[in-house]
Amino acid sequence: MTCLDDVFGTYSVVAGGSVRTGGGKSARSRRPLALDKFTVTVLREHLEQLEDEKAAWGSGYQAGRLVFCWDNGRPLYPDTVTEQFNRLVDLAKVPLIRLHDVRHSYATIALRSGVHPKIVSSRLGHATVAFTLDTYSADIPDLDQQAAEDIGGLFLPKGDDESE
């Protein structure tokens, strides 16, 4: 497993428009999360860029442990992140989806790809695997047919198929 230490934290807008950092909705919000090598490389490069920005701002840099922030260290407002996401979706010429739909897509793709439901549930921070399956597996209508093919394949001699 590859990891980056201390890459965590969430924030939300509170009354008055100020941004407050926090640990998430539950104790499961702070958990280790394995990352692929490409993502780790990109994050390391991004963290190096943050260090350069911090040095350039000197004492004007707002100290914090945010991975994504303005170049002076100030937290991004959630609406700003959403607007940037929407611009990227538009540039990619794909149908507009909400930022939260990326999470839903991840879960559906992971389950469809055969990632064990317990792992998907854990990565999403869900309390139970049942919640994950109830929420996301309904979006995969061909799972029943795939299960039939997979189990049937266990009992057919190698090289046999339904055309013989």
Question: Whose CA is closest to 106, among 86, 76, 135?
Answer: 135
Over residues 30-62, the pLDDT tens digits come to 777 888 889 888 988 998 999 999 999 999 998
Going from N- to C-terminal start, the domains of the chain cover: 1-95, 97-157
The tokens describing 20, both together, are 């407050």
pLDDT at 17: 57
Higher pLDDT, 12 or 74: 74
pLDDT at 6 over 80: no
| pTM of model > 0.95 | no
The phi and psi torsions of 128 (rounded to 5 degrees) equal: -140, 155
- In three-state secondary structure terms, 130 is helix
Dist CA 145 CA 24 (whole Å): 38
Cβ-based neighbour number of residue 149 at 10 Å: 11
Over residues 85-114, the pLDDT tens digits come to 999 999 999 998 898 899 999 999 999 888
